[in-house]
């Protein structure tokens, strides 16, 4: 049906190898390997393990492609000063950083109250380095289909990043007092749309199970300088349920909990 040439393993890719279709120049990186090829000396990893033979379920039960680069963005060491959460018809609130591990919760039209620092950290832990599971399509083509024309939840973060200054050249005199550190301010947003289920084959139980994901759209495009991140702002992605569960918090979850034995104040 087709003739392929099987090459060597990619660097540190002990369970993968390169293949090329006869008569074509394109080279693919894959785990597909017939058992008879596996027995013909395909190199092993340092522990002696070799690529597995062709597994039918690995391909017939997977309805989405595997992405080599799953990064949507990486905010690195940028500091988050404000987290704005909006759930239409439920609440609009801001979580404002006051100090290290100290946040205030400000609900629209109400006085600030202490916010739960652990919840704030939980939100930041999943959005600081955001990864995709699947690409659903261009935003302007699929936004309505996946509920992003009217997002169920919107997260907006106000961040600041230290401006890197060039080090003074050797022997160059310092003029006057040292200047204060300078920061640049920018924003990032995540809109959450519909929940989407995908089948997943479980080799242990030999059953096809269902896993939940959520459609999201990121931005704002005008605040994104990196060309790769800016391009991703034009698409809709699926991300894992766990990621969105940290964002879709109830208002009661955002407020700091009274310690055991602590008397609550009025209201």
pLDDT tens digit string along 161-174?
888 777 666 666 55
My answer on whether 90 and 11 are in the same domain is no
pLDDT at position 179 over 60: yes
pLDDT at position 209 over 80: yes
The verdict on residue 61 lying in a domain is no
Contacts of 102 (CB under 8 A, 6+ apart): 114, 117
HEC profile of 104-123: EEEECCCCCEEECHHHHHHH
Question: What pLDDT was estimated at residue 76?
Answer: 86
My answer on whether 128 and 36 are in the same domain is no
Give the model confidence (pLDDT) of 240-249 as tens digits. Answer: 999 999 999 8
My answer on whether 18 and 115 are in the same domain is no
My answer on whether 91 and 15 are in the same domain is no
The verdict on residue 143 lying in a domain is yes
My answer on whether 144 and 228 are in the same domain is yes
My answer on whether 38 and 128 are in the same domain is no
Question: What pLDDT was estimated at residue 33?
Answer: 56
The verdict on residue 265 lying in a domain is no
Q: Give every strand in the sheet of 4-6, ordered side by side.
A: 4-6, 17-21, 27-30
Which comes out higher in pLDDT, residue 65 or 78? 78
pLDDT at position 149 over 50: yes
My answer on whether 39 and 112 are in the same domain is no
pLDDT at position 52 over 60: no
Domains held by the chain: number: 2
My answer on whether 199 and 246 are in the same domain is yes
The verdict on residue 149 lying in a domain is yes
Give the model confidence (pLDDT) of 210-242 as tens digits. Answer: 899 999 999 998 888 888 889 999 999 999 999
pLDDT at position 61 over 50: no
229: helix, strand or coil: helix
The verdict on residue 126 lying in a domain is yes
The tokens describing 184, both together, are: 């640049």
My answer on whether 37 and 131 are in the same domain is no
Range of the domain at 23: 4-54
The verdict on residue 25 lying in a domain is yes
> Confidence band (pLDDT; 50, 70, 90) for 64?
very low
My answer on whether 141 and 246 are in the same domain is yes
> Confidence band (pLDDT; 50, 70, 90) for 77?
confident
Which comes out higher in pLDDT, residue 74 or 42? 74
My answer on whether 83 and 48 are in the same domain is no
């Amino acid at each position: 049906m087709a003739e392929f040439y099987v090459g060597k393993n990619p660097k540190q890719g002990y369970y993968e190898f390169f293949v090329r279709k006869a008569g074509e120049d394109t080279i693919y990186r894959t785990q597909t390997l017939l058992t008879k090829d596996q027995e013909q000396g395909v190199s092993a990893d340092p522990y002696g393990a070799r690529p597995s033979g062709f597994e039918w379920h690995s391909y017939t039960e997977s309805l989405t492609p595997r992405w080599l680069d799953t990064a949507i963005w990486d905010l690195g060491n940028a500091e988050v000063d404000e987290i704005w959460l909006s759930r239409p018809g439920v609440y609009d609130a801001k979580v404002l950083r006051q100090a290290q591990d100290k946040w205030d919760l400000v609900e629209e039209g109400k006085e600030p109250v202490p916010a739960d620092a652990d919840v704030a950290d939980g939100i930041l832990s999943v959005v600081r380095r955001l990864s995709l599971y699947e690409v659903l399509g261009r935003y302007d083509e699929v936004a309505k289909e996946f509920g992003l024309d009217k997002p169920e939840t919107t997260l907006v973060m106000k961040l600041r990043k230290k401006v890197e200054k060039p080090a003074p050249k050797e022997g160059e005199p310092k003029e006057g007092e040292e200047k204060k550190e300078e920061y640049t301010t920018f924003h990032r947003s995540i809109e959450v749309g519909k929940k989407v289920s995908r089948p997943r084959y479980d080799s242990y139980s030999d059953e096809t199970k269902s896993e939940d994901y959520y459609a999201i759209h990121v931005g704002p495009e005008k605040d994104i300088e990196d060309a790769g991140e800016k391009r991703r702002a034009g698409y809709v992605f699926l991300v894992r349920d766990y990621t969105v569960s940290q964002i879709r918090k109830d208002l009661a979850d955002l407020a700091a909990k009274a310690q055991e034995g602590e008397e609550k104040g009025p209201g």
